Amino acid sequence: MIDAPGLLDVSRLLAVRESGVAGNLGAGNVDVGNVDASIARLAALLKEKRRVTVLTGAGVSAASGVPTFRGSGGLWRSFDPMTLATPQAFAKDPKLVWEWYDWRRQLIAAAQPNPAHHVIAEWSRTRPDFTLITQNVDGLHERAGTERVLRLHGSIWEVRCTGTCRSGPHVDERAPLPPDDLPPRCAGCGALLRPGVVWFGESLDPAIVAAASRATEQCEVFITIGTSAAVYPAAGFIHEARANGATVAEINPDATEASGVVDISIRGKAEEVLPRLG
């Protein structure tokens, strides 16, 4: 899938991620009982190796109170998010979709980066060969000061023109949006603006996927954090990293489908494990 990034079906990725499908899949030969030893092993590896690439998912933002699509805080006016985060929903009722995004933007604006975001930000500042790939659209990595972030699913803080001028993405951090600016319109051509995120059924940006793929191929240590990593492109990145000789680690509260193939599997919450890695 990675060599055909334009064809990636993000709906599957989002569906699996947001539904929290993790279960007790594929624990394989990983010693799940010895979390301390696994953390020590990864910490030692991070001291020794220079080129590190990290992939993060919703689990990293959970402690900041950012609601997931499927979590108890994820519902809005009883709508199923799967029916709102789609091009079809936007075409049918852009105001409704924008009201939902406006609500989410306000929640995220009130949230703060947690210790996991801060540790990753520190790595990005102190390690010249560090790359962060994230599936999160909330911007908390950036607010923590993380540099060189590759956002697979875009940003909830950006907007794009849907009209002929195709301008964007532009940053628009107003939260809430003024009621008379819902849905917002392009200053250039007057067409509707849309959130700068990847919706269910849309493809990922091939340039971002290519950059993420490069960072994955070139790293010595690849770490997935707070994501089930069960489907593409996340699963593809794990495969690529391993194929290129990297040591692959996973930090997640539950076992995932990747647990059986990674070198180090740490069962824990991102905000508790990462500060222990230094």
**In the stretch 148-167, what mask flags binding to Zn ion with x, by CB under 5 A?**
-------------x-x-x-x
52 or 161: CB nearest Zn ion: 161
What is the C-alpha separation between 180 and 157, in angstroms, rounded? 19
Q: Which residue has the tokens 């980066």?
A: 113
Least distance in Å: CB of 90 to Zn ion?
Answer: 15
Give the closest residue to 256 by CA, choosing from 42, 33, 27, 69. Answer: 27
Query: For residue 5, what is the DSSP state?
Result: G
Least distance in Å: CB of 170 to Zn ion?
Answer: 10
> Collapsing DSSP states into helix, strand and coil, what is residue 6?
helix
Asked if residue 22 lies in contact with residue 62, where contact means CB atoms within 8 angstroms, the answer is no
Least distance in Å: CB of 188 to Zn ion?
Answer: 4
9 or 181: CB nearest Zn ion: 181
What is the C-alpha separation between 252 and 273, in angstroms, rounded? 9
Q: How wide is the angle at C-alpha 17 spanned by C-alphas 57 and 273, nearest 5°?
A: 40
Least distance in Å: CB of 161 to Zn ion?
Answer: 3
Q: How far apart are the first and last CA of the chain?
A: 34
Residue 188 touching Zn ion (CB under 5 A): yes
162 or 228: CB nearest Zn ion: 162
159 or 212: CB nearest Zn ion: 159
> Collapsing DSSP states into helix, strand and coil, what is residue 90?
helix
Stretch that binds Zn ion, among 20-28, 120-128, 181-189, 269-277 (CB under 5 A): 181-189
Applying CB under 5 A, which of residues 63, 186, 197, 273 lies at the interface with Zn ion?
A: 186
Structure tokens at 122: 């520190």
Residue 189 touching Zn ion (CB under 5 A): yes
Least distance in Å: CB of 169 to Zn ion?
Answer: 12
Give the closest residue to 107 by CA, choosing from 82, 134, 73. Answer: 73
Stretch that binds Zn ion, among 67-75, 95-103, 178-186, 241-249 (CB under 5 A): 178-186
What's the number of CA atoms in the CB half-sphere (13 Å) around residue 58? 19
Residue 187 touching Zn ion (CB under 5 A): no
State the number of binding residues for Zn ion (CB under 5 A): 8
| 117 noted as active-site residue | no
> Collapsing DSSP states into helix, strand and coil, what is residue 120?
helix
Q: Which of 118, 153, 170, 239 is catalytic?
A: 153
Stretch that binds Zn ion, among 41-49, 94-102, 186-194, 227-235 (CB under 5 A): 186-194
H-run or E-run covering 241: helix 234-243
* Interface residues toward Zn ion, by CB under 5 A: 161, 163, 165, 167, 186, 188-189, 191
Active site residues: 153
